[in-house]
Amino acid sequence: MGTTCGLTIDPLCRYVRALVICFILLPCIQLSLGAKTRHFKWEVEYKYWSPDCVENIVMAINGQFPGPTIRAKVGDTINVELSNKLSTEGVAIHWHGIRQIGTPWADGTASISQCAINPGETYNYRFRVDKPGTYFYHGHLGMQRSAGLYGSLIVDLAEGEKEPFYYDGELNLLLSDWWHKNIHDQEIGLFTNPFRWVGESQSLLINGRGQYNCSLAAKFSSNTSISQCKLRGAEQCAPKILQVLPNKTYRLRLASATSLASLNLAIGNHKMLVVEADGNYVQPFEVDDLDIYSGESYSVLLTTNQDPNNNYWLSIGVRGRLPQTPQGLTILNYKPNSASKLPISAPPITPVWNDYNHSKAFTNKILALMGTPKPPVNHDRRIILLNTQNKINGYTKWALNNVSLVLPPTPYLGSIKYGLKNAFDQKNPPENFDSINYDVTKPPVNPNSTYGNGVYMLGFNTTVDVILQNANALSANVSEIHPWHLHGHDFWVLGYGDGKFSAENDEKKLNLKNPPLRNSAIIFPYGWTALRFVADNPGVWAFHCHIEPHLHMGMGVVFAEGVDRLSTIPNEGLTCGLTGKMFSGQKN
Amino acid sequence: MGTTCGLTIDPLCRYVRALVICFILLPCIQLSLGAKTRHFKWEVEYKYWSPDCVENIVMAINGQFPGPTIRAKVGDTINVELSNKLSTEGVAIHWHGIRQIGTPWADGTASISQCAINPGETYNYRFRVDKPGTYFYHGHLGMQRSAGLYGSLIVDLAEGEKEPFYYDGELNLLLSDWWHKNIHDQEIGLFTNPFRWVGESQSLLINGRGQYNCSLAAKFSSNTSISQCKLRGAEQCAPKILQVLPNKTYRLRLASATSLASLNLAIGNHKMLVVEADGNYVQPFEVDDLDIYSGESYSVLLTTNQDPNNNYWLSIGVRGRLPQTPQGLTILNYKPNSASKLPISAPPITPVWNDYNHSKAFTNKILALMGTPKPPVNHDRRIILLNTQNKINGYTKWALNNVSLVLPPTPYLGSIKYGLKNAFDQKNPPENFDSINYDVTKPPVNPNSTYGNGVYMLGFNTTVDVILQNANALSANVSEIHPWHLHGHDFWVLGYGDGKFSAENDEKKLNLKNPPLRNSAIIFPYGWTALRFVADNPGVWAFHCHIEPHLHMGMGVVFAEGVDRLSTIPNEGLTCGLTGKMFSGQKN
């Protein structure tokens, strides 16, 4: 109905109205929402690169390693046209920490949310970023994350919104580990009998840069065989210098894309105030050093309140495994000092790798900032997942409740949507293990396990608890740290404990008051971790150990919820396996 | 209608008739035709292996390297269920020399006849072998042939048929070259600027076996730095000993799956009678040594008429490129001598690498056996293909008439069948080059080239001539040998010549009398080669240099003929690219 133009719509009136709509109203809507669609055209290919001063091959995006940083505002739509320029390999990219609400097909997990993108083909990742925070993205097929397929994804507050803390500037650090052995060789070793472990990484990288044959801090080392790096700054392996002004506060955004390493980060002479974890605000707490496991992200505030005549080390080192990898280093450069001015003392020493009390103390400090949504008081279902190292026909594997995950060729999102029952085991995987008789402190009495690819079908909108139960590995007196990551959701971390979880004793200790919301959580050796989430995001979601070789050894499970509520799933990502056959009229 | 059972069909009669059909008639039909369907279930995966005594990774089939030998009779149907057990890579296997009459979708060329088989998926290769001979199979995606994905395919005469020569026994030798650098690294180098060539192979392999760190013939070498191999015979790199009895005639089946090397094969003290080339009989001729280029196969007869107290060397060496690879060796073991008894003199010396007169003399001896089909006297179309080395945006490439082939993601067989015009360049690629002005003896004046993926659309049943014209490469005074291989057909090799082909002068020299039928032919440095074939096999067919890195640098063209005559193409191999999109109802 016409308004000021009355009931008769003459051409002039129509024109004026169009003008009003086009030039006034739409931009207003745009401004008020502040939301944009951000387009990216990416090409993935291998490229020679020297991440740690030793030439090797990386999986690059648009010729860059690490891949380009995506920066967007809450409410924006990210549209990445990803072209696979590899010769023989598929590719898929996961947007780690983005829940993909309403767009489960954009989660980027090959075999789960989509077919791997074929060589020469392009896939359109289109999703909305709905929560500010520090995220990253990475390959989710084979060991392509280890190959260097990762980059930062940072979501800023919407226009006019304010963070609950103040800072003058920002520094972004994407952490990773790096092997000289190519990923194919690494991966084949995992699937070989006798088993060949990937071993410790040669280097740790900060923003894709490390030093293997030299050290930035050699002059402080008692090991005279290590030479001082002579880098001019333009090298691919030259450290990314962190330039700061004295007496300011900086937000350091930290994310760990490591394939294996659990890291500890410290900055000489400086304390850090932790304010964000996995894209969720936490109650600020101060630390001298910070543990960061694969798949985690943090923001810390750093105040440059030290002697402005000096520069300072930022170091990362390995925790949780006997470290055989040198520290990763860069320089916190107080301007106007020269970046080449070395700090006056040695870099911070990483806490002893197996000082788990240190790790637990840090982890237990992470609590939700007031105002964070609280978990439902009750759970509808509790899945207890015993993490064990096993043998299947002589091959070394990881299993959950004695099932070692092998992903099927048909993505679950399609096979569940279209009811293709031959695509995966239709039986629900086990909800529990024999908790009465299984001794988590000893190697498994019967280490045999089985392969499986069943799905935990979750009732839509139900509250699900997962208790991750650690155990002894195949060797006596060995129990490893595993950082578990959930796709499609944040979960509340209700608590950590030692030994076997006991509903009777441990239930009451769970924190329902201010548990942190996260997408990643670790289990400590011989311990358990209790998580709670609401299955309110229609789709199929991986939940897995974020140590890449562990995932490929079967350490993951698959959750599905509300797939029937998805009225349309784009077929673009489903033209493989049994969905591909179905589309082309073949019999399944 | 009933016969002996009359018009009324009672149960007993029906039973008797069924018995007759099942137990008498059907086996008779089977026997009279002698044709079988031979089923194979293959799994492709990477495996640690030591082809030349140095551990590396090979692409194995059912855990074997080389892959299993297929042996069948003329008229048999081969059915290979190929499962891709690789983690991230597609796979496709080409049955080299099998024309795939009526089954162009089974030719195994990724991007041409099918989509690469995805990880975890299975493709059914089903085709009839209609011609006896010595063939092989190999990967036809990326550099998977270089990775070791190959094996023998031997087709025997149908029951009751006889070869036009006699032999007592048979020995099968599949020849290849082997690099220590993994194929991904090799391939990335080719696509890098500055260009990195794969270099000469570390080893030559006979039936997948070579020796890198030692020599079987060290004691005959003046080079004292090479040690004598101490192999017990069970090692993966121990030579396959050729056991023979004195005074017998053996058929040696030879096939070269090399990635790069042109080889020369000789047997100490023995002469060889060449009787078959690429699955076609030739006029027998005797040689002391035999050139065999990548993609070629031969049968030679060897008579064990030498001193039966000795063993003899069989050696292969590199020709056509300055050799930096040691000879490949094994022992012709006259029983009952011990296999470990070394020959009394050094292995045969490979003719000097650039003695092209030697090569030409050999090649010119290859003529069709009487009774071989003769070529049509006239051609309907002549395509002249100038082979040049070029630059595109600084990248080193090979091109035909200035077009460097880049295969599209949608297999041509599907895109042509379904008229998907966006799938590839719709313009016919050039039929000729500027033969008046182009000086084939000098580096290109303008080395720039362009990428292309157009198709030579051939009239069905027309006779097509291809003149392959060699030229100088990018560097002065360099012109390389290229072995060209045609899929889907045999061609007649009408002649070879030096310099630029001239219709006026060279036409009359072409051999229409007894040109050999082959599927592979070489062009000599600065020379030309004239081929003729009849485009009578509906499908899309690659024609390319069989040097694997050259193909990936663009040295190939694509022919298509009679695709509209194919009433049905199985969709199984077309669920990628634009055909995949079409099947799934997406817009192309």
Question: DSSP for B123-153?
Answer: EEEEEE--S-EEEEEEE-STTTTTTT-EEEE
**Which tokens belong to B223?**
């080079």
Check CB contact of B92 with chain A, cutoff 8 Å. Answer: no
B90, B144, B576 member nearest A575 (Cβ): B576
In this prediction, residue B31 carries a pLDDT of 44
Asked if B118 reaches chain A (Cβ–Cβ under 8 Å), the answer is yes
Say which DSSP state A459 is in: P
Q: Phi/psi zone of residue A13: left (φ > 0), alpha (ψ -120 to 50 degrees), beta?
A: alpha
Query: Is a pLDDT exceeding 70 seen at residue A141?
Result: yes
Residue type, B430: P
Within 13 Å of residue A576, how many CA atoms lie on the same side as its CB? 26
Of B87, B184, B586, the CB nearest to A571: B586
Q: Give the amino acid at B41.
A: K
Nearest to B418 by CA among B558, B542, B588: B588
Q: Give the one of A119, A192, A408 whose C-beta lies nearest to B48's C-beta.
A: A192
pLDDT at A21: 45
Contacts of A69 (CB under 8 A, 6+ apart): A151, A152, A153, A154, A172
User: Mind listing the pLDDT tens digit for each residue in B261-318?
Assistant: 999 999 999 999 999 999 999 999 999 999 999 999 999 999 999 999 999 999 999 9
| Cβ contacts from A onto B, under 8 A | 130
What per-residue confidence (pLDDT) applies to A4? 38
Q: Is B182 within 8 Å of chain A by CB?
A: yes
Give CA–CA dist A181/A202, Å, rounded.
Answer: 9
Report the C-alpha dihedral over residues B541, B544, B550, B551, rounded to 10 degrees. Answer: 0
- Helix intervals (H) in B162-266: 183-190
Q: B120, A185: Cβ pair inside 8 Å?
A: no
Strand partners, A127: A78
Nearest CA to A315 out of A330, A332, A304, A297 is that of: A330
Q: How far is B147 from chain A (nearest CA, A)?
A: 12
Residues of B in contact with A182 (CB under 8 A): 182, 184-185
B534 Rama sector, left if φ>0, alpha if ψ -120 to 50, beta otherwise: beta
Residues in B touching A87 (Cβ below 8 Å): 141-143, 187, 552
Q: Identify the closest residue of chain A to B574 by CA–CA distance.
A: A584
**Which residues of chain B does A90 touch, with a Cβ-Cβ cutoff of 8 Å?**
88-90, 118-119
Triad A187, A193, A198: Cα angle to 5°: 35
Low-confidence ranges of chain B (pLDDT < 50): 1-9, 13, 16-32
Q: What is the mean pLDDT of residues A203-229?
A: 95
Measured between alpha carbons, how far is A583 from A128 in angstroms, rounded to an integer? 28
Report the residue of B584, B587, B588 to disrupt the A interface, i.e. the one with the largest count of A CBs within 10 Å: B584
Reported as a pLDDT band with limits 50, 70 and 90, residue A14 is low
Q: Which of residues 250-279 of B touch A (CB under 8 A)?
A: none
d(CA B253, CA B134): 6
Helices (H), B265-378: 356-364
Break chain B down into helix, strand, coil percent, rounded to 5: 15, 35, 50
DSSP 8-state code for residue A104 = G
Q: What are the tokens at A279?
A: 């894209």
Which of A577, A437, A560 has the alpha carbon at shortest distance from A118? A577
* Mutate: best of B87, B121, B145, B451, partner A, most A CBs <10 A: B87
Q: Which amino acid is at A557?
A: V
DSSP B369: P
Average pLDDT value for residue range A573-581: 97
Cis peptide before B347 (omega within 30 of 0): no
Structure tokens belonging to residue A335: 């301007």
* Per-residue model confidence (pLDDT) at position B588: 62
For an interface test with A, which of B114, B118, B145 has the most A Cβ atoms less than 10 Å from its Cβ? B118
Identify the pLDDT of residue B231: 95
Q: Which residues of A433-467 are buried (b: 16+ CB within 10 A; e: fewer)?
A: beeeebebeebbeebebeebbbbbbbebeebbbbb
Which positions in chain B touch A192 (Cβ < 8 Å)? 47-48
H helix runs in A372-447, sequence order: 412-417
Complex-level ipTM beyond the 0.85 threshold:
yes
Strand partners, B389: B398
**Hunting for tokens 């799938």 — which residue is that?**
B423
Q: Do B87 and A583 touch (CB under 8 A)?
A: no
Chain A interface, mutation test: which of B56, B59, B88, most A Cβ atoms within 10 Å? Answer: B88
How far apart (Å, rounded) are the C-alpha atoms in residues A379 and B548? Answer: 59
Q: Do the Cβ atoms of A581 and B572 come within 8 Å?
A: yes
Two structure tokens written together for A56: 């090797």
Beta carbons of B141 and A88 less than 8 Å apart: yes
Cβ neighbors of B462 (< 8 A, separation 6 or more) are: B380, B381, B534, B535
Q: Which residues contact B326 (CB under 8 A, 6 or more apart)?
A: B203, B204, B211, B212, B215
Which chain A positions have a beta carbon within 8 Å of B407's beta carbon? 120
Q: Cα–Cα distance between A314 and A327 in angstroms, integer?
A: 10
Tokens 């009952």 locate to: B336
The whole-angstrom separation of Cα A152 and Cα A231 is: 25
> If phi over 0 gives left and psi between -120 and 50 gives alpha, with beta otherwise, what is residue A54?
beta
| Separation between Cα atoms, residue A164 and residue A158, nearest integer Å | 14
| Average per-residue pLDDT for chain A | 94
Q: Residue B88 and residue A90: Cβ atoms within 8 Å?
A: yes
* Beta strands across the sheet bearing A272-277: A203-206, A169-178, A249-256, A297-303, A272-277, A280-287
* Location of structure tokens 């001063």: A53
Read off the pLDDT of residues A338-368 as tens digits, 9 standing for 90 and up.
999 999 999 999 999 999 999 999 999 999 9
Using a CB–CB cutoff of 8 Å, tell me whether A56 touches chain B. Answer: no
Question: Do B522 and B491 touch, CB atoms closer than 8 A?
Answer: no
Cα B42–A183–B394 angle (5° rounding)? 100
Q: Name the token pair of A164.
A: 């609950």
Identify all chain B residues contacting A576, using CB atoms and an 8 Å cutoff: 118, 121, 575-576
Cross-strand partners of B204: B177
Residue of A88, A109, A424 best to disrupt the B interface, most CBs of B under 10 A: A88
Please list every residue in chain A whose beta carbon sits closer than 8 Å to the beta carbon of residue B119: 90, 116, 409
* CA atoms of B252 and B272, how far apart (whole Å): 9
Cα–Cα distance, B188 to B195 (Å, whole number):
9
Q: Does B375 touch chain A (CB under 8 A)?
A: no
Which tokens go with B506?
Answer: 């060279």
Given an 8 Å threshold on Cβ–Cβ distance, is B119 in contact with A409?
yes
Kindly determine whether residue B182 and residue A185, on different chains, have CB atoms separated by under 8 Å: yes
Q: How far apart are alpha carbons B265 and B289 in whole angstroms? A: 6
Classify the C-alpha dihedral A449-A454-A459-A465 as positive or negative: positive
Distance CA B546, CA B486 (A): 9
Distance from the Cα of residue B75 to its chain's centroid: 21
Nearest CA of chain A to the CA of B40: how many Å? Answer: 21
Q: Which domains does chain B have, with CATH numbers?
A: 1-30 (no CATH), 37-41+62-68+78-155 (2.60.40.420), 169-364 (2.60.40.420), 381-583 (2.60.40.420)
